Amino acid sequence: MHELAPRIAAYATGRLPQAAELEVADVERIHGGASRETYRLKLRYRDGATRVERRLILRRDPPGSLIETDRAIEFAAYRAFHSTPVPVPEALWLENDPSHLDYPFFVMEELAGFEASPQTILMPPYSGHHEKLAQQKWSILGAIASADPEKLGLVGPMAPVAPTEAWRRELDHWTRVIDEDQLEPQPIMRAAIRWLRRNPPPAPARLHVVHGDYPTGNFLYDKEGNVRGILDWEMAHLGDPLEDLAWSLNRVWCWARDGRVGGLTSKENAIRIWESASGLRADPEALRWWELFSSLKGQAIWISSGREYQAGKNQDPVLALSGWWLMNAQDRAALETLGKLG
């Protein structure tokens, strides 16, 4: 039995006072994003005469993480988009008291039986559905962009910002991450930061929900080419929807290594799908600003992962791999956006 099982059961008993014969089984740690420890488990209990079994996901803050984020925001995003055209698992419990499982955590339903891997999607039978997956992937991103954060109750859990200042808040934040975490000088990123400050993008007409981390790899898909769940909302915030579009187009997510964005389709097609679904226009110059910004943000994350690993705070080898595998590719992506790669 996993050492967390009895502790999760004790916690769930408090959350479900009507439940009898409650037990937690099959607790297994899985890869589920880089910012939290993710566990799959089964919760069984009797509710009156009814036997209940629920497959759940528990996301727990780790001692060190790739991205320092607010679990309450991630939880609020799952809650807000549940039962909307944006498919997400049902969020159940948010717990900030570390006494239960040593660190804060939240629990949500598991959307079981689907794939998330950005490598598996390149292989049969999924490879036969890339255009269908692309259509759904960027349509859903368009649906997130067209959502009203006020109506979803996300203004508050997510800090508002003046639309004219959305770019600056993000740029300041990720520049600060690089300032604090860099292990070596970053001449390309420093040049990018100067360019971004000299050439600010036009402001969006209003604030939008920004998922914050929407590559292939952060959604669930099935063998028929359907997107079944949007995951990893830990960096969600209010801002410019072009930020999400640009992040989804980031060169480092070209998993098939053939130029197709997200390993699925052409950049032009992805933009066309997003524009059609969102009702918004991706102004090329504004999108270029956000594409360069997405290289900065990516580099900040890879830099932080390297620092966490080197400091020994988190020895998950994926943190070392992020730094080694992606930092140079991210620099090249920035050079390409700036028109310097040739």
Partner 1 sequence: MKPDVPKALEIVAGRLLFDVAPHVAPSYRQSSVGVTAMLLGIVREEWDRAAARRVQENAALRALFRDALPVVTDTDLRGKLAAAADSADASLLVSELDASNDALRALLIELHAHVETLQSAAARALEDAIWRELVASTERRKLSLAPF
User: What does the alpha-carbon distance between residue 289 and residue 79 come to, in Å, rounded to a whole number?
Assistant: 31
H or E segment and range at residue 172: helix 166-181
Q: Shortest Cβ distance from residue 263 to partner 1 (Å)?
A: 9
Q: Shortest Cβ distance from residue 15 to partner 1 (Å)?
A: 25
* Nearest to partner 1 of 34, 143 (CB atom): 34
User: What does the alpha-carbon distance between residue 265 and residue 282 come to, in Å, rounded to a whole number?
Assistant: 17
User: What does the alpha-carbon distance between residue 13 and residue 226 come to, in Å, rounded to a whole number?
Assistant: 36
For every residue of 287-324, DSSP letters joined together read HHHHHHHHHHHHHHHHHHHHHHHHHTS---HHHHHHHH
* Nearest to partner 1 of 81, 302 (CB atom): 302
What does the block give as tokens for 122?
């390149």
Hey, how many other C-beta atoms are within 10 angstroms of the C-beta on 152? 18
CB-based contacts of 57, cutoff 8 Å, min separation 6: 32, 38, 39, 40, 41, 89, 107, 108, 109, 110
Q: Shortest Cβ distance from residue 63 to partner 1 (Å)?
A: 16
What does the block give as tokens for 261?
């964005």
* Nearest to partner 1 of 101, 252 (CB atom): 252
Q: Shortest Cβ distance from residue 184 to partner 1 (Å)?
A: 5
* Nearest to partner 1 of 31, 206 (CB atom): 31
H or E segment and range at residue 173: helix 166-181
Residue 88 amino acid letter: V
* Nearest to partner 1 of 140, 249 (CB atom): 249
Q: For the chain, percent helix, then strand, then coil, each to nearest 5?
A: 45, 20, 40
CA distances, 251 to each of 5, 37, 154, 263 (Å): 40, 27, 30, 10
Q: Shortest Cβ distance from residue 133 to partner 1 (Å)?
A: 18
CB 335 within 8 A of CB 188: yes
Give the residues lining the site for partner 1 (CB under 8 A).
28-31, 184-188, 190-191, 194, 251-255, 257, 316-318, 320-321, 324-326, 328-329, 331-333, 335, 340-342
Q: Shortest Cβ distance from residue 238 to partner 1 (Å)?
A: 30
* Nearest to partner 1 of 155, 338 (CB atom): 338
Q: Shortest Cβ distance from residue 191 to partner 1 (Å)?
A: 6
* Nearest to partner 1 of 117, 139 (CB atom): 117
* Nearest to partner 1 of 119, 276 (CB atom): 119
Q: Shortest Cβ distance from residue 183 to partner 1 (Å)?
A: 9
